Structures are given as structure tokens and as C-alpha cells.
Structure 1
């Protein structure tokens, strides 16, 4: 199974932390780099890995692209941050692109909160019909994926009280919802076409299910995650999502019945994951019983273990999950970075260094 990762970043002023509408300049500096593209707002850019066959390829691409974005941002007089929501004040200039202008015209009241940043993991599937059934099998695990990635505690300079403040902001868009348990492509296509005809989306690309069939590639695209704070977490996320898709494909081959997961429990579990993150309480969507998210993450690892073993990812994913649990999720680490920072500029520097990783993070923390 091939895997690819898209990461969205915010650009901010290095002194105030206020968003900086410098994406056009950053992209001009990176005009030789096909893996960095424009996003909806001019204080965002997105990186796109190649089609990868191993997590080592994913890691290499993510590391290289984060480095290039960081260098171009510095040359443009700003800083690139991997956080689900810009932590300080946000301005909202829309990127000068016909499709983005159509979105802005259709949903003008949502523009001010539109600049959230996610991590989208694509996994190749053999057909759209199989992909639709894979989506149904992902439903019980979407909240755990969100809890593992939750990385947006700050909004407008204040602690939002959420591990993923991106989740409630992003959920205001009319098509942002979990995938249904469709049994075939007819049901899926009817849901997408209905959203477009009903004015909830301008095209298939703006139908933002938490997990969907990619409108552009032969993949299942899992979109629920915040952009991860560092490369290690992003690689872990990619491995877990590929493991989930691989497990779903294996269940399809064996004829395992689709899980019955009530929509209300999926929504409850997602909200708990967004509120508390990996270190807090969650909801077991199969029983409705409150369970610690760390326990649900362990259950997820057990669930995907055969698929991870088949792709050679088991040790990388297992050690990555243990490390994440030990050091805390992105939101916890952001709060620790903020607590140790004397000024917005200091916090931005620490967050930028963590985004890029390596020795820079350790130096910023000293």
C-alpha cells in the first residue's frame, strides 16, 4: 500500500506571532519545489510528499519539506509553524485563486476561522468500491487518530481549553462530518452530489468528510488529524492510518461484517478527543463507555498489528506511540513550550524550532 502525507502550516510574524500573509512570497522562493503549494488563506502553505512505499520514505520527505518551508519562510521575514490553529491573532486574506474566491463568496462568514491546519494521510486502495467500505471500517477509530494528533490549544493568544481547537472551528463548515457506513459507491456519490446540489460545497474537493475517497487520487484520504507538531508524530500518524486501511482491506477479504457504530457515539468520541487529547478521557464507540484515550490508542495498535507487521512498520509505529505517550501529545507540548516562554516571540521561536525539529528544538528550549 502506497502512502502520502499532506501537511498544512501557518506563517506568522516572528515577533508578535500574528499571522503573516506571506505565502505568495514563500511560494515564489520555492518555485523549484513541486511539493509545496498554496492553501486557502495567504498565511498558509501546504507540503505534499511523494508517493511513498515505506515510513522511512515518508520521514525523509517530511523532514526535507519542513526544512525547505522553514528556510523560505525565514527569507520572507516570517516563521512557519506546525499547529492546527495559529496561536495568536489571525488576519484572513484569501489566496488569489478562482476556486478559493468561489469558496469565500459562498461561505463569507466562515473565512475568519478558515485557516486551520490539518495533516491528511492518503493510502492507496484497489478501487473506489473497496475504498467506500474501507471508510465504513475506519469510523470506530477516527477519534483515536484525532486524539493522537491533537495539536491546537491556543486561539487568539489564549488557551482555548481544547487539545484540538481546530476541530470545533473546522466543524462549522457544512460538509465536515464523519463518513457514513456506505455499502457502495452509489451511496457515497449520492452524498457528495447532494452536498454540492444543496449548496454545502462548490465541488467534490470541498466535501470535507473526516475520511473520504480522494477526488484527485486513487486513495482513501484521512483528514481528521491536526497537523502534527513534529516529524516523529507525523510519521506515527502515517503508519497508523496505513495500518488501519490495511486492516480494513484484510477484513474485506475475509468477509468480516462492517462494525455497527452509531453516529451519536462517533460524534461524542470525536468531541472528547478534541477536548482532551491523548492524555485525557475518551469514549469507546462500540460500547459507549468512557475509556482513557491512551487505552484506546493501545487498542488501536493491537487492531492494526497484523497489517503493520505485513508492511514492516510495526516496530516504528509501536516505538513512536510509546514515545508520544511518554512525552505528551502536541497540545501538551505546546502548553509546556508556552509556559517556558517569556514573550510571544519566544514562544513562536520554540514552536518553530519544534516544527523543524532536531537540534533547533533543544536549543530553543534552553
Structure 2
């Protein structure tokens, strides 16, 4: 039986000029996803008031996952349009915003702002989090240790935040650089037991680096809420097909880890350095993988080769189709820069993102996601 999985996506709400506006709650108030009865667990506010978050139900197939990703994006985008606003999937706001960005009015968020002070300037970033079900925390920690060396590859594939404050940062994932400022961000250390995992978070909380264990912003962690491992390294991606691709590859890495014993012992400093390089160059440079540091354009091939033996037929069809297209059009950062290059206007980047964020999968992709033929 396939491992269960689900995806959380964070989005920016922007006005007609492309600048973030603190209207997340207003957009959510008018957005009702299927199956909602009162409080909607699929659509939620985020700490920053110009963001909204979607969370798919637990899924078992890529076709099911894609259907929910499409539905939730459409719901949020339609509500944003009703407020004369736009929804965009970008790891950072391409255009400038208030500094620090306005917070959603919840007590915990204000405690975080008081404690971490000027770091809040780097808080308006949007990620894609993939949850994969595991039977217990021991198994989850085994998976974390196996996936640590693959985090740079996942970041390179998902890189989608080259612009900030109207300028090109020179990085493919400026979001990753911003998140790296937080004391609980980055790759987790190699931990040998759930007790050591919990003790590490307890020590960080006592020191003040965390307000509570839920603030562990590691690139991969044991979910504090669900019986899952949560992979948090990725930027939110422009299209649902890319989000589903990352989810399928991540589930494949988890399934592969479950077949193996000892995890590779890659030093923390090495993983951090590899993540920095992946965040700088995305799929256009070189990127580390457990078997070496090939051109990043080949890292996606290595990821697919690593997980192909555990993929369902439906997964293989979908992965092949989407990776072929990514090889042609590039990662999100490349496409954002291409939109800018046409006229030298960051506003054109926002327009491209708004159109693509709300678009369903192409007919060919959807046929692939729903088919079991090869």
C-alpha cells in the first residue's frame, strides 16, 4: 500500500500593483473549500497578514493530490479576485512591502515578533511543505536522517524566489536565505533517537532560540501535529504540477529510506553549504546529491532514478511528464527572470505568477495524473 501524503502551500495576497496587502483574513472569510463545516481546516491564515495557506486532505495517489491542489488554489484565487486582489505563488514578494510586514492578529504571532525583533522583516516568505505518513516517531527519525543529504536537491528543483523589493537578489531561492536567519531553521542535525530529538528541541526552547517546539523551522522535521515527517525546504512553486512533483519525489525518498538501514553521515556544515549553493543557483548551477555534485540540471534525473524503483505506474507517468517540461522551461526562478527580461518590469513577474498560480494542470498533465497506463 502506498504511503499517505499531503501538501501545504503558502501564498501571497497582492494588490493591483503587485505589492503585498494585509488582506489574508478577508480573502479567507469568503473562501469556502469543499467539505467545510464552520472552521475550515483546509484554508488557514498565516503569521503574516498578507499570506494565506492551503492544506490538502490526506491523499494516497497523485491524481487525488492534484485534484485537491487545483481545487484549493482555485478557491483562494477566486476569493482574491472578488476583493480586487491577486493570489501569487512565489517564495518571496517580488515587489516591496511594509517593513516589518503586518501580522495576523493572534497572540502567539505577536509573542514571536516581540521575541525575534528585526527578524520579522524576513518572515514574509512562502513555502511548500510535504507531509508523508510514518507509523511511529522512530521510523520518522530514520527517514529524517536518510533525507538530509537530499534536501539541497529538493530546494534546487523548487527554487522560485529570485526577486525581493523589486530587484533581482542574484539567488534562485531568496526565501531560503531569509529563512536561514532564524535560529531554528536549516537542516536538522543527525539525531539518533526520538529522545535525542526531543532533548535538542527542549534545550533550544530553554535557551530562547524557540518559544516552543512547534517553532522548529528545520528543513525536515517530525510534525508536531500529525504522524508524519514534514519536508519544509521547498519554495512554494508556480504550478500545481510542480507541487505534486515534489510531493511524489518526497514520498519516493521516504519509501526508499524505509528499505535501507544506516543513514549516510553527512556533516551538518556540508549540508548547510550544499543548501546555500542550491539556493543560489537552483537548477542552473551545480547541486550536491548523495552520489556527488553534478550540474543541477542532472540532479532532477538523479532524484528520479533514486525513487523510480518504489514509484507506482501512475507516479512514474506523472514524474516523467513534469520533469520533461521542467527541463524545457526551467525552475520557477528561471521563469520569473524570463518574465522580467521581456520588458524589465517586476510588475510583469507578478502578472505571470498570478495567471499561473490560478491555472489548472494542462490537459496532458491531468490525463497523466489520472491514468495508470504507461
Q: Same fold (TM over 0.5)?
A: yes
Question: Which residue of 173, 176, 184 corresponds with 1:167?
Answer: 176
Structure 1 equivalent of residue 200 of structure 2 = 191
RMSD: 1.7
Alpha-carbon distance, 1:94 to partner: 0.7
1:264 aligns with 2:269: yes
Are the counterparts in 1 of residues 92 and 175 from structure 2 also a CA contact under 8 Å? Answer: yes
Once the two structures are TM-superposed, the CA of residue 210 in structure 1 deviates from its matched residue by 0.5
Contact 1:14 1:349 in 2 (8 A): no
User: In the alignment, is the contact (CA less than 8 A) between 1:82 and 1:355 conserved in 2?
Assistant: yes
Say which is worse superposed, 106-115 or 235-244, in terms of deviation. Answer: 106-115
Q: How does 1:116-265 map to 2 (within 5 A)?
A: 116-251=125-260, 256-265=261-270
How far apart in 2 are the matches of 1:103 and 1:31? 29
The aligned counterpart of 1:363 is none
- Structure 1: where are the runs of 5+ without partners? 361-366
* 1:95-114 correspondence runs (5 A): 95-114=104-123
1:87 equivalenced with 2:94 (yes/no)? yes
CA distance in 1, matches of 2:258, 2:155: 22
SS, match of residue 131 in structure 1: helix
For residue 221 of structure 1, give the secondary structure of its aligned residue in structure 2.
strand
C-alpha contact 1:133 1:181 (8 A) present in aligned 2 = no
Shift of 1:6: 0.3
1:10 matched to which residue of 2?
12
Q: Cα distance, 1:9 vs. partner? A: 0.4
- Deviation of 1:321 after TM superposition, in Å, equals 1.7
Q: Does the 8 Å CA contact 1:83/1:117 hold for their aligned counterparts?
A: yes
Aligned-partner Cα distance in 2 for 1:338–1:25? 30
Given that 1:4 and 1:122 are in contact with CA atoms closer than 8 Å, whether structure 2 keeps it comes out as yes
- Which residue of the other structure, out of 38, 42, 61, is the alignment partner of 2:49? 42
SS of corresponding position for 2:209 = coil
User: How big is the shift at 1:205?
Assistant: 1.5
TM-fit CA distance, 1:322: 2.1
Q: TM-score, normalised by structure 2?
A: 0.90
Task: Give the whole-Å Cα distance in 1 for the aligned partners of 2:56 and 2:213.
Answer: 22
Whole-Å separation in 2 of the counterparts to 1:46 and 1:354: 17
Contact 2:153/2:289 (<8 A) preserved: no
Match of 1:279 in 2: 284
Q: Is the contact made by 1:36 and 1:47 (CA closer than 8 Å) also made in structure 2?
A: yes
Distance 1:170 1:315 in 2: 34
Per-residue Cα deviation, 1:311-352 (whole angstroms, up to 9, x for no partner): 741221232222212210000011112223575544322210
Per the alignment, residue 371 of structure 2 pairs with none
Counterpart CA distance in 2 for 1:284 and 1:73 is 39
Structure 2, unpaired ranges of 5+: 363-374
Residues 81, 191 of structure 1: CA spacing in aligned structure 2 closer, same or farther, 3 A cutoff? same
Moved over 4 A (4+): 284-287, 341-345
SS of 1:313 mapped into structure 2? helix
| Structure 1 match to 2:370 | none
CA 1:344–1:284: 2 relative to 1, 3 Å: closer
2:333 paired with 1:326: no
> Which among 295, 306, 319 is matched to residue 292 of structure 1?
295
1:284, CA displacement in angstroms?
4.2
Q: For 1:236 and 1:74, how far apart are their aligned partners in 2?
A: 27
Q: 1:338 to 1:116 in 2, by over 3 A?
A: same
**Distance in 2 of aligned mates of 1:343 and 1:182:** 46
